Amino acid sequence: MNNYPTRRGILQYGAALAALGAPGLARAQSPVRLSYWHHFASQSEQKGLRRLTEMFRAKYPNISMAIETIPNAEYLTKVTASVVANSRPDTCMVAAERFADMYAMKALLDLSPEVAKWDRKADFKPSAWKGAERDGKPFGVPAYSFVNWMYYRKDFFEEAGLSGPPDTMQEFLEVCIKLTNPAKNRYGFGMRGGGGGHQYLMDLLIAYGSPIVSDGKPAIDRAKAIEAVRFFSDLYTKYKVVPPSAPNDSFRQIMEGFKTGQTAIIWHHTGSLAELTAALKPNQIGTTLRPKGPVLRAARVDNLYNGVSNDRNREAAWNWVSFWAEPDPAIALLEETGYFPASFKVAQDPRITGNPLYKPAIETLSFGQNAIDTPGVEAWGQNQMFPEFQKILVGSSTVEDAVDAMMRSLDKTLS
Considering the domain architecture, whether residues 109 and 246 belong to the same structural domain is answered as no
pLDDT at 359 over 80: yes
The pLDDT confidence band at residue 24, using thresholds 50, 70 and 90, is: very low
pLDDT at 318 over 50: yes
pLDDT at 236 over 60: yes
pLDDT at 7 over 80: no
Considering the domain architecture, whether residues 280 and 385 belong to the same structural domain is answered as yes
Asked if the structure places residue 6 within a domain, the reply is no
Considering the domain architecture, whether residues 270 and 141 belong to the same structural domain is answered as no
Considering the domain architecture, whether residues 326 and 399 belong to the same structural domain is answered as no
What pLDDT was estimated at residue 258?
98
pLDDT at 367 over 90: no
Phi, psi of 242 (to 5 degrees): -125, 155
Burial bucket for residue 395 (CB in 10 Å: 0-12, 13-18, 19+): exposed
Asked if the structure places residue 253 within a domain, the reply is yes
Per residue in 100-111, pLDDT (tens digit) is: 999 999 999 999
β-pair type (91-95, 263-269): unpaired
What is the SS3 assignment for 157-174? HHHCCCCCCCCEHHHHHH
- Please give the Cα distance from 319 to 175 (Å, whole number): 48
pLDDT at 281 over 70: yes
**pLDDT top residue among 20 and 261:** 261
The predicted model gives 247-267 an average pLDDT of 97
Considering the domain architecture, whether residues 312 and 295 belong to the same structural domain is answered as no
The predicted model gives 269-280 an average pLDDT of 90
User: What one-character DSSP code corresponds to residue 381?
Assistant: I
Considering the domain architecture, whether residues 350 and 406 belong to the same structural domain is answered as no
Per residue in 378-412, pLDDT (tens digit) is: 899 999 999 999 999 999 999 999 999 999 999 99
pLDDT at 99 over 60: yes
- Please give the Cα distance from 41 to 48 (Å, whole number): 11
What pLDDT was estimated at residue 26?
39
Burial bucket for residue 187 (CB in 10 Å: 0-12, 13-18, 19+): buried
Domain range enclosing 72: 33-146+302-360
**Mean pLDDT estimate for the chain:** 90
Distances (CA, A) of 145 to 209, 288, 347: 25, 17, 10
What pLDDT was estimated at residue 29?
52
pLDDT at 4 over 60: no
Considering the domain architecture, whether residues 296 and 310 belong to the same structural domain is answered as no
β-pair type (141-153, 301-308): antiparallel
Instruction: Please state, as a whole number, how many other Cβ atoms lie within 10 Å of the Cβ of residue 179.
Output: 22
User: What one-character DSSP code corresponds to residue 198?
Assistant: H
Asked if the structure places residue 140 within a domain, the reply is yes
SS3 state at 24 = coil
The domain boundary residue, chosen from 333, 360, 387: 360
pLDDT at 227 over 80: yes
End-to-end C-alpha distance for the chain, whole angstroms = 44
- Please give the Cα distance from 17 to 26 (Å, whole number): 10
Considering the domain architecture, whether residues 132 and 77 belong to the same structural domain is answered as yes
Distances (CA, A) of 341 to 52, 143, 144, 372: 14, 7, 5, 21
Phi, psi of 339 (to 5 degrees): -65, 135
Question: Residues 6 or more apart from 389 whose CB is under 8 A from it?
Answer: 193, 197, 198, 201, 229, 232, 233, 402, 406
Ranges of H-type helices in 60-148 = 75-84, 96-104, 112-117
Considering the domain architecture, whether residues 135 and 156 belong to the same structural domain is answered as no
Asked if the structure places residue 8 within a domain, the reply is no
Per residue in 159-211, pLDDT (tens digit) is: 999 999 999 999 999 999 999 999 999 999 999 999 999 999 999 999 999 99
The predicted model gives 106-124 an average pLDDT of 95
Number of domains forming the structure of the chain: 2
Considering the domain architecture, whether residues 135 and 155 belong to the same structural domain is answered as no
- Please give the Cα distance from 336 to 97 (Å, whole number): 24
- Please give the Cα distance from 227 to 125 (Å, whole number): 36
Percent of the chain with pLDDT over 70: 93
What pLDDT was estimated at residue 372?
85
What pLDDT was estimated at residue 342?
84
pLDDT at 18 over 50: no
- CATH code for the domain of 343: 3.40.190.10
* Low-confidence winner among 4-8, 138-142, 151-155 (lowest mean pLDDT): 4-8
Q: Are 275 and 44 in contact, with CB atoms under 8 Å apart?
A: yes
